[in-house]
Structure 1
Amino acid sequence: MPIDNPAYDKAFEYLENGHADSSFYYFNAARQVFLEQGDSLFVAKCLINMSITQHEKADYFGAQETALQAIPILNENESEHHAFLSMNYNVLGLASFYLKDYPRSISFYEQAIKYSDNSENTLAYRNNLAVSLMDSKEFTEAQAIYASILKKTNKNSIEYARILANLARIKWKQDPTYPAVDEFFTSLRIREKENDFWGQNASLAYLTEYYEFSKSDSALFFAKKWYNIAKKIESPHDQIKALKKLIKLSPNNSSKYYFQTYNVLNDSIQEARLAAKNQFTMVRYEVEKNKADNLILQKDNADKAYNISRQRMWTAGISIFSVVVIIGGIFWYKRRKERLQLEAQNRIKANQLNISRKIHDVVANGLYRVMTEIENREDIDQDGILDRLEMMYEKSRDISYETEEAKSEQQDYHIQIAELLKSFVSENRKVIIAGNDTEQWERIDVGANEQIHHVLQELMVNMRKHSQATNVIIRFDWDTELLRIYYSDNGIGMSRSFEAGNGLEGIGNRIKSLNGHITFKDREEKGLKIEVSIPIL
C-alpha cells in the first residue's frame, strides 16, 4: 500500500486541470514525504512527473537534471520499476533532442525501448529514436525502423499516417528526387479524417518544406494552413516555424505583417520560458537543499552511532555527578536566598528602629513644644507658628517616606504601584507606566516591595514640587536577576550645582539597602532621567 500523501493526490488534480506549475510544486512536496518514509519508487514517480512538466515548459536543462535524479532510485532488476525507467529515459531523450544533442538522445531512447513493457509506448519510443537518427543524418537506420513499424501498423490508423509521413520524409531527404508528396497527402487525408490536428500540423509542415524550392506558391498555401493549424492546437513552437516560412515565401506587403507577428510571438515565448525556468529553479533549489539536509542528517546519525558506545561509558558517572551538583546547587541557592532575605529583613528592622527614634525626637517633641507655646501664650505669633509647623511638616515628610503603611496585602502590588503613580496625574501632567507586570512583582519579597514603593513615591513628590514637568514616564525592565526602573520627565531638570535634600538622600539609602544602584542622567538643560537597578533575590 502506498503511503498516504495528500500532496501527491493534489499534484495529479492540478495536472489534470492543466495547472502544470502547481502540479510541479506539489509533486516536489510529495517527493519529500516519500523520501522521508523511504518509498523510493514513489520518489521516482514524482521526479519523472516533475521532469515531464519541465520539458513541456521548455526547461530542457532542468528536465534533464530532475530526470537524472530518478535513475539511481529505480532498480533495473525490479520488473515493477521498468515502466518508470522507460518513461524517464524517454524524457531524457526528448530533452536532449530539443537541445540538439542527438547522440545522447539516441542513447536515451534506446534505453527507453529496452525497459518498455507496453507495445504502444515502445512504438512511440521507436518513432522518437528514428526522428533523432534522421536529424543526426543516420538515414539508413531511421528508415529501417520506420519500415519495420509500418509493416505492423493498421493502414487506416493515426499511427500509420505518422509512420508513413516520416518514412517518406526520410526517403526524400536521402534522395531529393523521390516523390514523397503522394505519401504526404495520403498521410494528411487520414489525419483529417481522424481529426488528428497535431498530425495535420506535421503533414502541412512536410508539404511546405517539400514545395519550398520547387513550387513557392504551393509552399505558401500549405504554410498558411500550417500556421492556422498551429494556432488551433496552441503550439507556439510550430507557429514560430510556420511564420518563418511565411516571412520567406510571402510578398513584401504580407511578409512585413508576418514578421511583426513573429517578433511578438517569439518575445512572448522567450519570456514564458524564462519565467518557467526561474520558477522551477527555485523549486529545484529546495530539492537540492532538502537532499543536502538529508545527507547531513545521515552523517550525523552515523556519527551518533559511532559515539554512542563511548557515551554509555560516561553516562552513569556524569549522571551521578550531575545529581550531586544539582542537589548541592539547590541547597546552596536556598541557603544564600535565606541569608540574603535575613540580612534584608535585619536592615529593614534597623531602619524602622531608626525611623521610630526620628519620629519621637523630631515630630513628637516638636509638636509638644508648639502645643505648650499655644497653651501658655496669649499673644500667639500666628505666622511664626505656621512657619514652625511647615518646618515640622517638612521634617515629618522626610521621615514619612520610610514609615508609610504598606498597602493592603489583599491588593496586588502592581495595582498599588499604578495607583501611586497615577495619583500624580493632573490636567497639565501625564504619567505613562510601562512594564508594571503582576507576575514579575511576585518575584520581589514584601520588604523590598515597600522600599521600592517609597522610592517611587519620593521621585514623584520631587517631580511635582520641583520639575514643572508635563510628561513623566516610568518603565520597569525585568531581567533574570535584575529589576531596572527608568524614570524620565520633560521638566526643568537638575543643574550640576543642585544639592540633594533629604528625599533624594533617602532614596539613595533605600536603594543601597537593597544592594541596588541609582544613576542621574541629563542633569543639564531640560528634563531629567534616572535609572535604578535592583538585584532580584
Structure 2
Amino acid sequence: MKNYFLFILLILLFSCNKETSNIKNNSIATTYYKKAKKLTGDSAYYYYNLAKNSYLEIKDSSGVGRSLVNMAIIQYYNGDYYGSIETSLEGNRYLKNVNDTIVRATLGSSYNNMGISSSYLYDFENAIKFYTKALKYAKAPADITLYQNNLGDALVSLKEYKAAEHNFILALKTKNKLSYARALNNLARARYSEDPNYNPLPELYTALKIREENDDILGQNSSYATLSNYFSDKDNKEKALEYAKKMLAVSTQSDSKEDQAQALQKIVYLDKENYQQYFKEFQILNDSLQISKSKAKNQFAVVRYDLEQKNAENQRLKANSAEKDNYILRQYFILTILVFLIIFIIILYRKRQIRLKQEKELEIKNTQLKMSKKVHDVVANGIYQVMTKIENQEHFDKMKALDELEFVYEKSRDISYEKNDTSDEVKDISENISELIGSFKNESVNTYIAGNEKMLWENVSKTTQDEVYQIIRELLVNMRKHSGASIVSFRFERIENNISIIYSDNGVGISGDVLYKNGLSSTVSRIENIHGAIIFDTKTEKGLKINISFPVS
C-alpha cells in the first residue's frame, strides 16, 4: 500500500514539473517568434529557428509549422529556391489542424511560397499545383486575389491562356487598387499572348497609372517590363527602350537585383549604340547574383546546423541540472518500477520464449526470400539481358553469347554456396552501368546516358553499387516488357553526399496510382535497402519519369 501511494505521489510531482516547464518554454518560444517578425534576412531566420526548437520542446505543432514556413519564405527571398520548398514541406507536416484559422492561413502561405519558388525554377506544372492548394486554404480576400494572380502567371507560362484569363478576371473583383492593377496588367498580357491582334495598351496604361499614383514601385516595375516586351514585339524599339530604362530605374530604386538584370538584358538588346556599357553592367550584376544565390544555398543550412548544435548542448546542460535536482526522486521512482517489474518477470519470460520461436521462423522465411531475390537478380535478369543483347545485335557472336550464359550459370551455382559476388571487380560501376544501358539499344529503342562519370561513384559502398545496378537493370527490363518506349534516358547527378538518378522514357507510362507490379516492387524494396527515395511522375502527358535519390554512405 505504501508503494502504491508513493507511485501516485511521484506521478503528481512529475506532472507539475512538466506543466511548469511547458509554460516557461512557451513564453520563450513566443518571445523568439515575435522578435523574428521584427527582423529580416539571416537575423529573422536565426530567431525563427530558435522559436521552432522551443515549440518542438513543448510539442506545439502549430508553432513549429509557422516558424518553418517563415524560414522557407526567407530562403525564397534570398534565392535558395530548392531549400525553400524543402523547408515549406517540412513545415506543412506540422500544420495538421486544418480547422484552425491560423493553420489554414499558414498552409496557404506555404503553398504559395512553394509555387513562387517552383516558378523561379521554371517548374510551372508544380507551381500550378501549389497555387491551387494555396487557394484551397485561403480565406482572406487579399490572399485569394494574390494566389489567383500567381496561378494565372504560371498558366500563362504554360500557354494555357483561357484558364489564366479566368483567374485574372476573378482577381479583378478585389477592392484593393494595387491588386486590381496587377490583375488588369496580367489579364491584358494574357489576352495579347493568346491573340497578337488584341490591343492591350488601354489596360496596361490604366494599370500603370494606378501604380504610379500609389507609389507602387514593384508594380511599376512589372508594368514597365510588360510594356517594353509589347513594344519590342511590335518592333517599336524606341518605346521598348524607353520602358526598359524606366524598369531599370525603379528596380534600382527598390534594390531588386533580379529585376535590374532583366532590365539590363532588354536594354542590351534594344540600345545598339550603348549596348557595351550596359552589357558590362549586366555581367557584373549577374556575377553578383550567382554568387549571392550560391551563398544562399549554404548559409541557411549552416545557421540551422549551428543552432542545432547549440540546442543539443543546452539540452545536455539542462539534463545534467535536472538530474542533480531530481536525484532522490528518481531513486524512489526506480525502486518503485523495480517492484512492478518483479510481478511481470514470469510473464515476460514466457513471452520471450514465444518471441524467440517466432524470430526463428521469420529468419527462415527471410532466408528463403533472400534466395529468391538472388535467383531473380542473377538468373532471370541475367538471362533477359543476354536475350536483349542477342535480339538487338544484327550479327551476334555465338561463342560470346554462350560464354555469357555460362557466366550466368556459374553465378547461379554460387548462390547455394553463398559466395560473394566478385564479377564486377574488373570493371568499375560506371562502366558496368554504361554497358548495361547500352545493351538495350536497338533499331526501335535509343538509349541515352548523362553524368555517369567514374567520380560520381567515389566512396559509394559495393553493396549500394550492386543494388543500384540491379535497380537500373529492373527499370530497363520493365521498360522492355511493358512500356513500348522508343527513347530511354538516364541522367546521373551528385550533390554533396547524395546521388540522384532521373529515368525517363516516352512509352505508355503508368495511368492512375502507381501499381508496384513485376520488377517495380523489387525496385522499391532495393531503394529502401540503401535508404533512398523514389518518385513516380505519372502526370506527364506521355511516357514515364522516375526520380531516384540515395545517400552516398
Q: TM-score, normalised by structure 2?
A: 0.50
Letter in 1 for 2:55: F
Shift of 1:311: 9.0
Instruction: Tell me what 1:261 maps to.
Output: 281
Q: Do structure 1's residue 232 and structure 2's residue 253 form an aligned pair?
A: yes
Partner of 1:195: 215
Write the distance in 2 (CA, Å) between the matches of 1:290 and 1:311.
38
Q: Which residue is equivalent to 1:47? A: 68
Unaligned segments of structure 1, at least 5 residues: 294-304, 317-537
Task: Give the CA deviation at 1:112.
Answer: 0.9
Match of 1:92 among 111, 114, 117: 114
TM-aligned CA deviation for residue 287 of structure 1: 7.8
Maintained 8 Å contact 1:7/1:27: no
- Give the conservation status (yes or no) of the 8 Å contact 2:29–2:55: no
- Cα offset for 1:181? 1.7
The reply on whether 1:312 has 2:332 as its aligned counterpart is: no
Q: Residue type of the partner of 1:216?
A: K
CA distance in structure 2 between the aligned counterparts of 1:6 and 1:263, rounded to whole angstroms: 46
User: Structure 1 residues 14 and 46 mapped into 2: Cα distance closer, same or farther (>3 Å)?
Assistant: closer
| Aligned positions of 1:110-259 closer than 5 A | 110-150=132-172, 152-154=173-175, 157-213=177-233, 214-252=235-273, 254-259=274-279
Match of 1:283 among 264, 281, 303: 303
**Does structure 1 conserve the Cα–Cα contact (< 8 Å) formed by 2:178 and 2:210?**
yes
> 1:145-167: CA deviations, max 9, x gaps?
112332x234x822221111100
Matched, 1:102 2:124: yes
SS of 1:100 mapped into structure 2: coil
Instruction: Please tell me the residue identity of whatever aligns with 1:41.
Output: S
Cα distance in 1 between the residues matched to 2:68 and 2:304: 11
- Amino acid in structure 2 at the alignment position of 1:201: N
Query: 1:26 corresponds to which residue?
Result: 47
Q: Which moved more, 1:111-120 or 1:76-85?
A: 76-85
**Quick one: distance in 2 between partners of 1:37 and 1:109?**
32
Aligned residue in 2 for 1:380? none
- In structure 1, C-alpha distance between the alignment counterparts of 2:174 and 2:130, rounded to whole Å: 24
Identity across the alignment (%)? 35
Q: Residues 109 and 310 of structure 1: is their aligned pair in 2 closer, same or farther, counting only changes over 3 Å? A: farther
Change (3 A) 1:102 1:310: farther
Separation in 1, partners of 2:308, 2:193:
45
Structure 1 position 16 matched with structure 2 position 38: yes
Stretches of structure 2 lacking an aligned partner (at least 5 in a row):
1-22, 314-333, 346-553
Kept in 2: contact 1:8–1:26 (CA 8 A)? no
Give deviations 1:486-526, integer Å, cap 9, x for gaps: xxxxxxxxxxxxxxxxxxxxxxxxxxxxxxxxxxxxxxxxx
Q: Is residue 36–residue 48 contact of structure 2 (8 Å, CA) maintained in 1?
A: no
* Structure-2 separation of matches of 1:134 and 1:103: 11
Measure, in 2, the Cα distance between the counterparts of 1:222 and 1:285.
45
Aligned in 2, Cα 1:291/1:108: closer, same or farther, shift over 3 Å? farther
2:82 corresponds in structure 1 to 61
Q: Report the alpha carbon displacement of residue 269 of structure 1 after superposing the two structures with TM.
A: 1.4
1:2, distance to aligned residue in structure 2 (A): 9.4
Opposite residue 275 of structure 2, the aligned amino acid is S
Query: Among residues 272, 278, 284, which one is paired with 2:292 in the alignment?
Result: 272
Cα deviation, 1:215-263, whole Å, max 9, x if unaligned, reads: 01111111111100110111101000000000000123x1011011011
Give the deviation of 1:47 after TM superposition: 0.3
How many angstroms does 1:124 deviate by?
Answer: 0.7
Aligned-pair CA distance for 1:97: 1.4
| Per-residue CA distance 1:351-410 (angstroms, 9 max, x = gap) | xxxxxxxxxxxxxxxxxxxxxxxxxxxxxxxxxxxxxxxxxxxxxxxxxxxxxxxxxxxx
CA contact under 8 A between 1:51 and 1:66: conserved in structure 2? yes
Deviation at 1:211, TM superposition (A): 0.7
Determine the C-alpha separation between the residues in 1 that align with 2:300 and 2:262: 26
CA distance in 2, matches of 1:136, 1:207: 21
Rounded to whole Å, the distance in 2 between the matches of 1:160 and 1:46 is 31
Distance change in 2, residues 1:248/1:134 (3 Å)? same
Say how many residue pairs are matched: 299
Question: For the Cα contact (< 8 Å) 1:109–1:128, is it kept in 2?
Answer: yes
Within 5 A, what are the aligned runs for 1:328-367? none
- Matched-pair contact (CA < 8 Å) for 2:48–2:71: yes
TM-score by length of 1: 0.52
Q: Give 1:67 shift.
A: 0.7
Deviation of the 1:16 alpha carbon: 2.6
What is the alpha-carbon root mean square deviation over aligned residues? 2.9
Aligned match of 2:104 in 60, 65, 82? 82
